[in-house]
């Protein structure tokens, strides 16, 4: 065998068959593992508190699903989508016809944006809220109407309601809200949704709802055909990199959204779908993450308060706090300690956000600020 051919065989990992499938690192190409894989998120030297990922995930069942099924990645396996949709529907007490899968909830937000923009008009969104995805709405010509939060950083549902007019194609509610971590009461949301004209889409983003004890609004889809719920496996399920999310809505709405997606339900890889199926079975993992997050969050909030930082009560895996009374250079301290945080969301009041990582990471974060 020539040296080139040996190298080529090594690089495409033909050693896999004899090694077995239990240890991914053992058959990753040495070139890839040394130069690329080692610095993609689980590097002990860098503390990533930036994007509200789950520091404990994926769940052990999801990891096993990935590894056990690598060898079927050569097939399209469209049936896996049907299986996942049926499991998601059961979990949320809706029907399979009420579910649309996307590559992360980002794809779901994007197809909703495309559908909402078929006619010209405006959209209503809280400020600050999760708005990276709204670039599609802007590009497609919908006018943005940003509604400030209340003074306690909650979504101002009344002002949002008042902002809706005959040209409003979409109103977006992030519950709990990113970046503030605040939650709207369920009965207030139900009243709000009921008040919205049926010609306006109501998009409720429940990316972080599993960090709360509040029930999803998905049981309202039968009575509110304009309601779309966006959900994701990226947060408490720990599958951010696997890119898998979904919409729950009335079946007509799901068909409308599906028509905006070129490969309906199949932009997600088979492995990610199988990992999501496994994740849905791992209630213990979800419960453990909920508890660990709460403990680390409570600790961080109490320590931030000792450092004169005003904190907003969080219902999520991140904390919104003010640096107005923090006299040191926060961003420099993060940089010096290899900690990745975020920016100011509101310059006025110097409000920023930090993701809740593992307890030892949060201790290092606080130590860096002290």
Ligand X SMILES: Cc1ncc(COP(=O)(O)O)c(C=O)c1O
The site for ligand X (CB under 6 A) is made up of 51-52, 104-106, 130, 174, 178, 205, 207, 232, 234, 240, 245
Q: How far is the CB of 166 from ligand X (least distance, A)?
A: 28
Which residue, chain included where needed, has tokens 């939060």? 149
CB nearer to ligand X: pick between 174 and 301? 174
CB nearer to ligand X: pick between 144 and 305? 144
Q: 122: helix, coil or strand?
A: strand
CB nearer to ligand X: pick between 121 and 245? 245
Q: How far is the CB of 236 from ligand X (least distance, A)?
A: 12
Cβ atoms of 320 and 314 within 8 Å: the answer is yes
CB nearer to ligand X: pick between 318 and 326? 318
Q: How far is the CB of 141 from ligand X (least distance, A)?
A: 23
CB nearer to ligand X: pick between 232 and 250? 232
- Residue closest to ligand X (Cβ): 104
In the Cβ-directed half-sphere of 224, how many Cα atoms lie within 13 Å?
24
CB nearer to ligand X: pick between 236 and 369? 236
Q: How far is the CB of 50 from ligand X (least distance, A)?
A: 10
Q: How far is the CB of 68 from ligand X (least distance, A)?
A: 24
- Burial class of residue 157 in the structure, from the number of CB atoms within 10 Å of its CB (0-12 exposed, 13-18 middle, 19+ buried): buried
CB nearer to ligand X: pick between 103 and 301? 103
* Ramachandran class of 243: left when φ > 0, alpha when ψ lies in -120 to 50, beta otherwise: left
CB nearer to ligand X: pick between 57 and 245? 245
Q: How far is the CB of 179 from ligand X (least distance, A)?
A: 8
Among candidate residues 263, 52, 257, the one with its CA nearest the CA of residue 170: 257
Give the whole-angstrom CA distance, residue 207 versus residue 242.
Answer: 15
CB nearer to ligand X: pick between 35 and 51? 51
Q: Which two tokens stand for residue 30?
A: 């040495």
Give the whole-angstrom CA distance, residue 356 versus residue 294.
Answer: 9
Q: How far is the CB of 106 from ligand X (least distance, A)?
A: 3
Q: Any idea of the CA torsion for 230, 233, 235, 239, to the nearest 10 degrees?
A: -150
Sign for the CA dihedral angle at 21, 105, 100, 176 comes to: positive
> What are the strands of the beta sheet with 318-322, ordered from one edge?
318-322, 351-355, 344-346
Q: In sequence order, what are the beta bridge partners of 351?
A: 322, 346
Q: How far is the CB of 274 from ligand X (least distance, A)?
A: 18
Give the whole-angstrom CA distance, residue 216 versus residue 352.
Answer: 27
Q: How far is the CB of 34 from ligand X (least distance, A)?
A: 28
Preceding peptide of 8 cis, ω within 30° = no
Q: In sequence order, what are the beta bridge partners of 320?
A: 353
């Amino acid at each position: 065998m020539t040296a080139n051919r040996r190298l080529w065989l090594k690089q495409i990992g033909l050693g896999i068959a004899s090694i077995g499938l239990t240890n991914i690192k053992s058959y990753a190409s040495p070139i890839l593992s040394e130069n690329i894989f080692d610095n993609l998120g689980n590097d002990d030297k860098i503390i990533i508190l930036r994007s509200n990922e789950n520091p404990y995930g994926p769940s052990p069942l999801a990891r096993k699903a990935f590894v056990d099924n690598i060898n079927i990645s050569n097939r399209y396996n469209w049936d896996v989508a049907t299986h996942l949709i049926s499991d998601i529907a059961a979990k949320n007490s809706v029907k399979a016809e009420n579910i649309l899968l996307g590559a992360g909830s980002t794809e779901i937000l994007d197809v909703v944006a495309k559908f909402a923009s078929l006619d010209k008009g405006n959209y209503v969104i809280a400020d600050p809220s999760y708005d990276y995805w709204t670039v599609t709405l802007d590009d497609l010509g919908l006018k943005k109407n940003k509604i400030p939060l209340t003074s306690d950083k909650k979504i101002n549902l009344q002002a949002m309601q008042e902002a809706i007019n005959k040209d409003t194609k979409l109103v977006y509610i992030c519950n709990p809200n990113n970046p503030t971590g605040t939650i709207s009461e369920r009965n207030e949301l139900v009243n709000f949704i009921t008040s919205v004209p049926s010609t306006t889409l109501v998009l409720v983003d429940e990316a972080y709802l599993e960090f709360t004890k509040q029930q999803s609004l998905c049981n309202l889809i039968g009575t509110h055909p304009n309601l779309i719920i966006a959900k994701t496996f990226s947060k408490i399920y720990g599958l951010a990199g696997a890119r898998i999310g979904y919409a729950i809505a009335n079946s007509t709405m799901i068909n409308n959204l599906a028509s905006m997606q070129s490969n309906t339900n199949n932009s997600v890889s088979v492995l990610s779908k199988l990992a999501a199926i496994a994740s849905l079975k791992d209630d213990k993992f979800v419960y453990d993450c909920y508890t660990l997050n709460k403990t680390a969050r409570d600790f961080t909030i109490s320590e931030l308060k000792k450092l004169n930082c005003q904190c907003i009560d969080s219902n999520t895996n991140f904390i919104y706090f003010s640096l107005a009374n923090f006299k040191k250079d926060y961003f420099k301290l993060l940089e010096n300690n290899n900690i990745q945080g975020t920016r100011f969301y509101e310059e006025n009041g110097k409000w920023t956000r930090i993701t809740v990582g593992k307890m030892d990471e949060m201790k290092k974060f606080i130590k860096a600020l002290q």
